Chains A and B, each alone.
Chain A
Amino acid sequence: MALLEARGLSKRFGGLDAVSELDFDVNEGEILGIIGPNGAGKSTIFNMICGTFKPTSGTLVFRDKDITGYSSHRVARSGIARVFQGNVLFPSSTVLDNVVMGAHLHTRLSWFSFLFGGPSARRRDKALRTRAMEILELVGLSEDADTLASDLPHGNQRHLCLAVALAVEPKLLLLDEPVTGMNTEEVSEMLDLVRMLREKTGLTLVVIEHNMKAVMGLCDRIVVVSHGRKIAEGTSQMIANDPAVIEAYLGVDDDAA
Chain B
Amino acid sequence: MTEQQKRLSKGLVGVVIYALVLALPWILRSGLGVGKGTYWTHILILVGVMILSTSSMRAIFLTGEMSLGTAGFMLVGGYAAALLSAKAGLSPWLTLLLGGLVAAAVAGLVAYPFFRVKGIYFVICTLLLGFIFLYMAGYFKGLTGGWQGFQFYDISPQITVGSRTLKFGTKTNIEYFYLTVFVVSICLFFMYRMEHSRVGMVWKSIREADVLAKSVGVNIMAHKIFIFVVACFFIGIAGGLFAFHVHALSPTSTPANIFHFFTSVYCLMYMVVGGANSFYGPILGTSLFMVLRELGRAVGEYWPMIAGAVLILVVFFMPKGLVATGEYLPVWYRKLRGLFKGKTPSSA
Taking Cβ atoms with an 8 Å cutoff, the residues of A that contact B are 50-52, 71-73, 75-77, 81-82, 84, 88-93, 97, 100-105, 107, 109, 114-117, 125, 164-165, 167-168
Q: Contact at A90–B190, with CB atoms within 8 Å?
A: no
List chain B residues, Cβ under 8 A from A72: 211, 214-215
Q: Contact at A81–B205, with CB atoms within 8 Å?
A: no
Chain A min CB distance to B193 (Å): 5
Flag whether B220 is at the interface (Cβ < 8 A): yes
Q: Contact at A91–B209, with CB atoms within 8 Å?
A: yes
Residue of A nearest to B194 (CB): A115
Q: Contact at A109–B198, with CB atoms within 8 Å?
A: yes
Instruction: Tally inter-chain residue pairs, CB-CB below 8 A.
Output: 78
Flag whether B216 is at the interface (Cβ < 8 A): yes
Taking Cβ atoms with an 8 Å cutoff, the residues of B that contact A are 190, 193-194, 197-199, 201-202, 204-205, 208-209, 211-220
List chain B residues, Cβ under 8 A from A165: 215-216
Cβ 8 A contact of A88, one of B198, B199, B202, B211 = B211
Q: What are some 28 contacts across the A-B interface (CB < 8 A)?
A: A51-B214, A71-B214, A72-B214, A72-B215, A73-B219, A73-B220, A75-B215, A76-B214, A76-B217, A82-B215, A84-B215, A88-B209, A88-B212, A90-B208, A90-B209, A90-B212, A90-B213, A91-B208, A101-B202, A101-B213, A104-B202, A105-B216, A105-B217, A114-B197, A114-B198, A167-B216, A168-B216, A168-B217
Residue of A nearest to B221 (CB): A71
Bound CA–CA A107/B199 (angstroms): 11
List chain A residues, Cβ under 8 A from B213: 90, 101, 104
List chain B residues, Cβ under 8 A from A115: 190, 193-194, 197
Q: Contact at A97–B216, with CB atoms within 8 Å?
A: no
Bound CA–CA A190/B190 (angstroms): 44
Residue of A nearest to B189 (CB): A115
Residue of A nearest to B214 (CB): A72
Given contacts A81-B215, A101-B213, A168-B217, contact A90 B205 (CB under 8 A): yes
Bound CA–CA A114/B194 (angstroms): 8
Residue of A nearest to B277 (CB): A92
Given contacts A93-B205, A114-B198, contact A76 B211 (CB under 8 A): no
